[in-house]
């Protein structure tokens, strides 16, 4: 299990390749990556605040729960904080499993819990000012399926 909370940029492709090697029996790899998009137009940049200490604990607990629920060979979580521009990678998760169903379910579970239970907050900064991103009802509702 590899959990990283960092300000620095990362290369999702290079991380995927590194993660994909070395799991003897796990031929199924699922990744999710989140990228800063200018959804409404006019986004200058995004600021991501987090709660140092709790963030790592929360992500580790979520990854441990995923590993308990599904048969996984490995889990990777990387999440950035600080200032990000359009096109930047915000975060990624990856799961390795023998069977693809486990890899898919665990990756989606990680994302659903990370989204609503790990202490990150996004602020979108435009020419008109800055606005904290509101939680989407469907993100909270997504937890109901697990």
Partner 1 sequence: MDVMYFAWVRERIGLPRERIDTQAATVMDLVTELRAREERYAVAFEDISALRVALDQELSEFDAPLAGVREVAFFPPMTGG
Q: Which of 29, 58, 59, 106 binds its own copies (CB under 8 A)?
A: 29
Which of 81, 113, 133, 107 minimizes the C-alpha distance to 19?
A: 107
Task: List the interface residues with partner 1, window 114-133 (CB under 8 A).
Answer: 114-123, 132-133
Interface region with its own copies, contact rule CB under 8 A, candidates 60-68, 74-82, 100-108, 122-130? 100-108
For residues 54 to 93, the per-residue mask of contacts with partner 1, x marking binding by CB under 8 A and - elsewhere, is x--xx--------------------x----------xx--
Whole-angstrom distance, CA of residue 139 vs CA of residue 33: 16
Quickly tell me which residue has 């898919």 as its tokens: 104
The answer to whether 138 contacts its own copies (rule: CB under 8 A) is yes
Q: What is the 3-state secondary structure (H, E, C) of 28-88?
A: EEEEEEEECCCCCCCEEEEEEEECCCHHHHHHHHHHHHHHHHCCEEEEEEEEECEEECCCC
Interface contacts to partner 1, rule CB under 8 A: 34, 48-51, 53-54, 57-58, 79, 90-91, 100, 111, 114-123, 132-135, 139-140
């Amino acid at each position: 299990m590899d959990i990283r909370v960092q300000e620095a940029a990362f290369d999702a492709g290079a991380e995927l390749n590194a993660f994909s090697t070395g799991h003897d029996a796990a031929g199924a790899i699922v990744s999710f990556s989140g990228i800063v998009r200018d959804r409404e137009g006019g986004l200058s940049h995004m600021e991501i605040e987090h709660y140092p200490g709790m963030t790592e604990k929360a992500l580790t607990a979520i990854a441990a729960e995923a590993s308990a629920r599904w048969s996984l060979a490995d889990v990777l979580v990387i999440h950035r904080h600080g200032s990000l521009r359009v096109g930047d990678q915000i975060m990624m998760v990856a799961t390795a499993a023998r069977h693809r169903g486990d890899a898919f379910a665990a990756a989606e579970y990680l994302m659903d819990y990370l989204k609503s239970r790990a202490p990150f907050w996004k602020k979108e900064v435009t020419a008109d000012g800055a606005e904290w991103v509101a939680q989407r009802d469907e993100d909270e509702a997504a937890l109901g399926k697990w």
